[in-house]
Structure 1
Amino acid sequence: MKRPKLKKASKRVSCAKRYKIQKKVKEHHKKLRKEAKKSGIKKRTKKDIGVPNSAPFKEEVLKEAEQKKQELEELKEKNKLAKQKERAEKRKKGKETAGAEEEPKTKKAKKAEKAKVQREARAAVAKEKSTKAFRCSELKKVIEASDVILEVLDARDPMGCRCPQLEEAVLKHEGGKRLFFVLTKIDLVPRDSLQNWLGYLQAECPTFVFKSSTRLQDRTVLEKKQADVNGTVDLSRAGASYGCNSLMQTLTDLASKGDGESMLKIGVVGFPSVGKSSIINTLKGSRACIAGVPRGLTKCMQEVHLSKKVKMIDSPAIVAAPCNSGVNMALRSLQIEENEKSPLEAVKTLLRECNQRQIMLEYSVPNYRNSLEFLIFYAKKRGFLQKGAVPNTEQAAVTFLNDWTGAKLNYYSKVPERQSLPPYLTEAMVTELRTGLDLDKVKMANEHIITRIRSPYASSSILFNSKGMTDGLLSFTEVPAETPASVDEEQQEEDIIEETEDAKQIEDPEEAETPDTHTVQTQKSQQKSSRKRTKGKAKPAFVNIDVLASQQKSDDAYDFNTDFV
């Protein structure tokens, strides 16, 4: 069916066309006004024709008009004066209100200054509490006030968590204090390694295995009763603890054997991030102490009452001595938190003590040449990117260190061969530490916990080369003026050479070849021996850069004098 022909065209136009027409009309009117202004044409005002002569009572009409005109002028003058008077009054009121508001402003300023002073005082106190001298003094207070000292050891590296200076100070104290070991984070260690370490440590001191609870505890008695009545477990919370009953029963037995009036004071000591505050929170059943992934959260000693006869004392972390190895300083010190050391250097020292293949399997990264390349791969995998998709190696290094010090990564260290007791520990001291304890009961409880807990396999864990005990500082005067280097000069030279070679390989991956491991070791040994021979006798090396001479000596050089047909 054909559409019938319209008689009239539609007046509808597009918006663009309508706006264009309006713009053109506006410009046209503007142009006309400009031309009229240039030619001097002005709009004539209408002339008052006045009163004609033929009108009756002309004089009276003119007088009346004159009188109205004067009245209008007088009214305008009155309005003008009234407005001026009103403005003057407003100015006067504004000055009075400004003078009245000056006092509240001064009060606000005083309050702001007072708040600023309080903030500065708090910052100064926090800074003082974070100093090494304050931590050493607080640790001494805990040792003096405690009857029993619990040295908390990370089960992944128990020997690295031991402090010989602390153990000697406790065992040789005049008050006859007891020393117990507590192995924490036992769910991150293979079962065989945990059993071996337990047997090794029990030969020196009574040892307890422990796994802290990380779930949100019920804060009130009513919530606990409701949970018991319902009999349900909130799966959103983490698992329960292990070893809590055994340790608490032992401490209660010791408290009951002492004086009935005095309480048994137990000090919990150890290096950063070994789980001191978590043990107290688990035994208490609530969050009595601050605990978390960052190291050094506990700043001062804190007393927590577990029962009428037992009281726990939380302490700040032991200050690691600067004479320790780089690995121990990376894991057991607060140099990174205090901006004394870069996390990149700490990651480099840790990777040197681990198997590269195990690190690659654990973190799902490809083969890497050095620590920097590993951090680049790890940052890309975790999405730690800066502006322009640049990998944030600093954030990746901090996360890597948090995995090693926190309760996340599975790694273990080998148990050393038993040679002899430490020089500060004797057989008499060992027997004295064991008196008053039901060792068979403690041993059975530890074995029961080890069989119940879910442990990782050795194949899925990282083997870590422990560097032995970590030296600590019990007084700030022991800190030397100049901290000795943790790595000798030859090791530093080798690291610099390796970094430069790895950097060249990263820049030119196509030119890099994969030589045999035997040849690489021989080359490194030759370089090392040459550096030892030429140490202190370095001479500048001259290189011939004459290209024409090199071309003349080579057999394959092209001869331009010959012509080919």
Structure 2
Amino acid sequence: MNFQWYPGHMTKAKRQMQEDMKLIDLVIELVDARIPLSSRNPDIDDLGKNKYRLILMNKSDLADRKQTEAWSSYFRSRGFFVVCLDARSKNGMKNVTDVIMEACKEKMERDRKRGIKNRPVRAMVVGIPNVGKSTFINSYAGKACAKTGNKPGVTKGKQWIRLNKNVELLDTPGILWPKFEDQMVGLRLALIGSIKDEILNTDELAIELIHILTGMYPGVLKDRYGVDEEQKDTDILCEIAEKRNCLSKGNELDYSKAATLLIDEFRSGKLGKITLEIVK
């Protein structure tokens, strides 16, 4: 499979982000804890190089805990502040403000020495599509102030959100980079739903997922579907279709239905806590 997807509005969003960087103190970057590196936009490091940085590893409830800890250490060793959370259930959310204050304490100290009091930290929230930015903002603010959806590209415009006396957030549309140098990055993004399903071959995607899971998490597919993992990836998909009664109108096995089922169950955590990339 070849993954290339770069809607025109994303080029515009990047230009706008360059302008907005002048207004903020801190970049809050959401990544998906199941693919912490692949769900980062490499442009952000360049755009935010003179800003304080906080990485929020969202959807950590769906990720392998051991791998999440390893990735947290990886990011901290590179100078980022890190919070692991699940924005939907609000698990981990209570730590965010404290870490923002810690990340920006030098700025606040400078303000205090200049006699500037009660100026909130201004933060930009960034992240590629479908990592949960809007859900995070709504959970953090305690009200639905950013439009949410589980499809990429729901957030279109820019908005400032006053959270409390300490923090103001600038929301931005998610942006992807124009070319995946490594096709595995594109594959991982497709698997978590950051690339629109409509432009993907679901059958091929499911077979790629089977290949990854049998290598990284042997036994997961056997436990969930009762399949033999020693056979070819395509045969495993056929057996999932059989075991789950995925049939078309003529009582033929429907492999596309089985592929969609498998991808949906991975994304929702029904296969267990899984991380698709490990720290190297």
Q: TM-score range by the shorter chain?
A: 0.7 to 0.9
- Cα distance in 2 for partners of 1:361, 1:283 equals 39
Kept after mapping to 1: 8 A contact 2:237/2:258: yes
Contact kept? 1:348, 1:371, Cα under 8 Å: yes
Change (3 A) 1:270 1:392: farther
Task: Confirm or deny that 1:411 pairs with 2:274.
Answer: yes
- The CA RMSD measured in Å over matched residues stands at 3.2
8 Å Cα contact 2:158-2:171 kept in structure 1: yes
Is 1:135 the counterpart of 2:10? The answer is yes
* CA deviation profile, 1:265-309 (whole Å, cap 9, x unmatched): 322222233222222122111333333443443334343321244
Alignment of 1:322 with 2:183, yes or no, is no
Matches for 1:541-552 after TM superposition, within 5 Å: none
Cα distance in 2 for partners of 1:144, 1:395 equals 45
Structure 2 residue 224 is the aligned partner of structure 1 residue 360: no
Asked if the contact 2:53–2:81 (Cα under 8 Å) also holds between the matched residues in 1, the reply is: no
Return the alpha-carbon distance in structure 2 between the equivalents of residues 320 and 362 of structure 1.
Answer: 37
Residues 35 and 188 in structure 2, CA contact (< 8 A), matched pair in contact too: no
1:396 corresponds to which residue? 258
Q: TM-score normalised to the size of structure 1? A: 0.40
Larger helix proportion of the pair: 1
Write the distance in 2 (CA, Å) between the matches of 1:273 and 1:135.
14
Among 43, 46, 52, the alignment partner of 1:168 is 46
Deviation at 1:182, TM superposition (A): 1.3
Deviations 1:80-139 (A, max 9, x none): xxxxxxxxxxxxxxxxxxxxxxxxxxxxxxxxxxxxxxxxxxxxxxxxxx9712123124
Verify: 1:342 aligned to 2:205, yes or no: no
User: Hey, what's the Cα distance between the residues in 2 that align with 1:407 and 1:209?
Assistant: 20
Report deviation, 1:202. 0.6
Taking the TM superposition and a 5 Å limit, the aligned residue runs for 1:209-224 are 209-214=83-88
Asked if the contact 2:34–2:274 (Cα under 8 Å) also holds between the matched residues in 1, the reply is: yes
Q: Distance in 2 between matches of 1:335 and 1:244?
A: 23
Quote the offset at 1:326 in angstroms: 3.3
- What amino acid maps onto 2:205 in structure 1? A
CA distance in 1, matches of 2:123, 2:182: 31
Summarize the Cα distance change of 1:310–1:346 in structure 2 as closer, same or farther, 3 Å threshold: same
Q: Check conservation: 1:272, 1:332, Cα contact below 8 A.
A: no
Which of 115, 123, 138 aligns to 1:266? It is: 123
- Rounded Cα–Cα distance in structure 1 between residues aligned with 2:154 and 2:261: 17
Which has the larger share of strand?
2
Aligned residue for 1:355, secondary structure, equals helix
Which residue does 2:143 correspond to in 1? 286
SS at match of 1:266: strand
Distance change >3 Å, CA 386–CA 152, structure 1 → 2: same
Residues 37-73 of structure 1: CA distance to partner in whole angstroms, max 9, x if unpaired? xxxxxxxxxxxxxxxxxxxxxxxxxxxxxxxxxxxxx
- Contact residue 139 and residue 301 of structure 1 kept, 8 A: no
In structure 1, C-alpha distance between the alignment counterparts of 2:97 and 2:35, rounded to whole Å: 24
Does structure 2 retain, via aligned residues, the 8 Å contact 1:149–1:178?
yes
Mapped to 2, the partners of 1:371 and 1:414 lie a distance apart of 22
In structure 2, do the counterparts of structure 1 residues 324 and 299 end up closer, same or farther at CA, with 3 Å as the change threshold? farther
Amino acid at match of 1:377: E
What SS is found at the alignment partner of 2:219?
helix
Aligned-partner Cα distance in 2 for 1:394–1:300: 35
The amino acid that maps onto 2:201 is S
Query: How much does 1:152 deviate?
Result: 1.5
Q: Using the alignment, how far apart are the partners of 1:196 and 1:335 within structure 2? A: 23
| CA distance in 2: counterparts of 1:414 and 1:267, whole angstroms | 28
Q: Provide the secondary structure at the position in 1 that maps to 2:185.
A: helix
Cα-to-partner distance string for 1:535-555 (whole Å, 9 max, x where unaligned): xxxxxxxxxxxxxxxxxxxxx
CA shift, 1:197, in A, is 2.1
CA separation in 2, counterparts of 1:192 and 1:397? Answer: 28
The corresponding residue for 2:59 is 185
Residues 152, 269 of structure 1: 8 Å contact kept: yes
Deviation at 1:383, TM superposition (A): 4.6
Give, in angstroms, the shift of residue 388 of structure 1.
1.8
Structure 2 SS opposite 1:376: helix
Q: SS of the counterpart of 1:346?
A: helix
The answer to whether the 8 Å contact 2:160/2:170 transfers is yes
Share of identical aligned residues, percent?
A: 21
Partner of 1:63: none
Q: Secondary structure at the match of 1:273?
A: coil
Q: Of residues 219, 225, 240 in structure 2, which corresponds to 1:378?
A: 240
Instruction: Note the C-alpha offset of 1:161.
Output: 2.1
Contact 2:29 2:55 in 1 (8 A): yes
Whichever residue aligns with residue 396 of structure 1, its letter is: A
**Distance apart, 1:211 and its partner CA:** 2.1
What is the total number of aligned residue pairs between the two structures? 258
- Show structure 2 runs of 5+ residues with no match: none
Question: Does the 8 Å CA contact 2:130/2:194 hold for their aligned counterparts?
Answer: no
Conserved 8 A contact 1:185-1:211: yes
Task: State the distance in 1 between where 2:63 and 2:197 align.
Answer: 30
| Code of the aligned partner of 2:212 | E
- Measured after TM superposition, the shift of residue 192 of structure 1 is 3.2
Q: Tell me, in whole angstroms, the C-alpha distance in 2 between the residues paired with 1:140 and 1:337.
A: 23
CA apart distance, 1:170: 1.5
1:244 to 68, 88, 93: 93
> TM-score w.r.t. structure 2 length?
0.75
Give how far 1:193 is off: 2.7
CA contact (8 A) 2:157 2:172 kept: yes
How far apart are 1:260 and its partner, in Å?
Answer: 4.4
1:411 maps to a residue whose letter is: I
Contact 1:212 1:282 survives alignment (8 Å): no
Q: Distance in 2 between matches of 1:407 and 1:299?
A: 28
